[in-house]
Amino acid sequence: MFIISLICLIFTLNSSNNTIINAILYAVLIISIECSIILIINPKLSASLFIHDKPVKFTITTFIVIIVAISTIALFKINTNIPILALSILGIILSIIAFIRKNKLSEEINKKGLLMDNKEEITDHNSRIIYLIIILGILGIVARILPPYHQSFGWMVPGAFFICLIPGYLIINTIYPKKDDLAPLGRMGIAVGLSLFISAIIGLFFNPVNGVMLDWIMIIMIIISLIIVLPIFIKKTRYVNSKFFNKKLEYLLIIGVILTIILMAISGTLINNNSLTTNGNTTFQISGVNGTPGEDNYYNLTAGEKQNLKISTTNLENKVTNYTIKVVSRNETNSSEISEYHFELKNNETKEIEENLTMTSGKKDVQFILYKDGNETAYKIKHLYANVNE
């Protein structure tokens, strides 16, 4: 799975947005991530054994995923470079975690031999809970921060878990780790109440500055849970026998992880190619003019004077965009092209061009014309009105 994700990452960084290739990469990554999550949750399984035992199910699942991916990309004309890049990185991370998890299990079996069924079930369950919490936390941060997913609602699933349950669950099970210490219903009730209390405190603390924002409360709760509470929980409960575990919580976390990935894959991709692209823009600025314009917006300049200008272009179109800039001098009788530039910018990338103009006498309008993606109609125009005297 690591090699598959790495190959997909390389293809994405060097691809030319080929629809068929991107659809295949998209489908392969979804299946690879699914297999990695299965191995993380239960390292005793293997992908080859699953394929061998369930060839029909695996073939049908693969076929459906590929068909859905190709149909979605073709129907919405989706540019999947950003989602595939994000999924590739996620696949690499999950495959590394699955590899470490499987090696750790092998070492434990080699050192201790086979464990009793009941004890092994409890140990595996608690380990799965921990890994599911880590995965859900990573997905929550990615869904809130990484474009284009930060514009979707994919973060709400991990947000609900971390705001309402997970921190309190870890704290209460650190204090009362044994299953006989508290009744299951009372334990979960305290976990929910404690999590909501911590969330409320964080909300009140940040309210005077930015107002109550659930997404940022979620991020803070994830950081607290993964960096502070979870390590303490692991340390305090490592050698405790008859630990409490809730099988239903494990199922809920699995559903949460799968649902988050689906929401990120669907809503994030659609937003990237509809809302973001539609509302995108390009920042186009001219700076470095020596002098102050008069009431008629004309600069009074001297013939032979050099103007060292800077043309700055920033791509905020949420996609790779090709630009053309033409610098044209116009007066009452004619016009002449001074220079022309062609370049390509990735999203959020900036291009700065030095333009050195030597002014000639006369009243003129120096125009900086920006064209986008080969369109012959000007996208933006900036003017330098100049009254040049001898």
**Amino acid symbol at 92:** I
**Amino acid symbol at 213:** M
Q: Is 272 exposed, middle or buried (0-12, 13-18, 19+ CB in 10 A)?
A: buried
Residue with tokens 């043309």: 311
pLDDT at site 351 = 92
Spell out the alpha helix ranges (H) of 146-246: 156-164, 166-175, 184-210, 214-223, 230-237
pLDDT at site 116 = 43
pLDDT at site 34 = 65
State which residues of the chain have pLDDT below 70. 1-27, 30-31, 33-34, 37-88, 90-91, 103, 105-125, 147-152, 206-212, 242, 265, 267-280
Supply φ then ψ for residue 333, to 5 degrees. -110, -35
The C-alpha atoms of residue 286 and residue 39 are separated, in whole angstroms, by: 55
* Residue (of 240, 260, 271) closest to 76 by Cα position: 271
pLDDT at site 83 = 62
**For 46-57, how does the pLDDT look when each residue is reduced to its tens digit (9 = 90+)?**
555 554 545 445
Structure-block tokens of residue 8? 């997909």
Provide the 10 A C-beta neighbour count for residue 320. Answer: 16
Which H or E run includes 384? strand 380-389
The C-alpha atoms of residue 194 and residue 225 are separated, in whole angstroms, by: 13
What percent of the chain lies above the pLDDT cut of 90?
10
- With contact defined as beta carbons under 8 Å apart, do 31 and 51 qualify? no
Contacts of 90 (CB under 8 A, 6+ apart): 5, 33, 138, 139, 142
The C-alpha atoms of residue 59 and residue 51 are separated, in whole angstroms, by: 8
- With contact defined as beta carbons under 8 Å apart, do 260 and 160 qualify? no
HSE at residue 208, side-chain half, CA atoms within 13 A, is: 2
- With contact defined as beta carbons under 8 Å apart, do 314 and 353 qualify? no
Residue 348: which region, alpha, beta or left (left: phi > 0; alpha: psi -120 to 50)? left
Contacts of 204 (CB under 8 A, 6+ apart): none
How long a stretch of residues is the chain? 390
pLDDT at site 313 = 93
pLDDT at site 327 = 93
pLDDT at site 370 = 93
pLDDT at site 342 = 92
pLDDT at site 300 = 86
pTM to 2 decimals? 0.48
Is residue 26 classed as helix, strand or coil in its secondary structure? helix
The C-alpha atoms of residue 14 and residue 81 are separated, in whole angstroms, by: 10
**For 176-191, how does the pLDDT look when each residue is reduced to its tens digit (9 = 90+)?**
888 778 888 888 888 8
Contacts of 344 (CB under 8 A, 6+ apart): 320, 321, 322, 323
Q: Prior bond to 148 cis, omega within 30?
A: yes
Q: Is 210 exposed, middle or buried (0-12, 13-18, 19+ CB in 10 A)?
A: exposed
pLDDT at site 66 = 55
pLDDT at site 317 = 79
* Residue (of 127, 73, 104, 100) closest to 30 by Cα position: 73
pLDDT at site 368 = 93
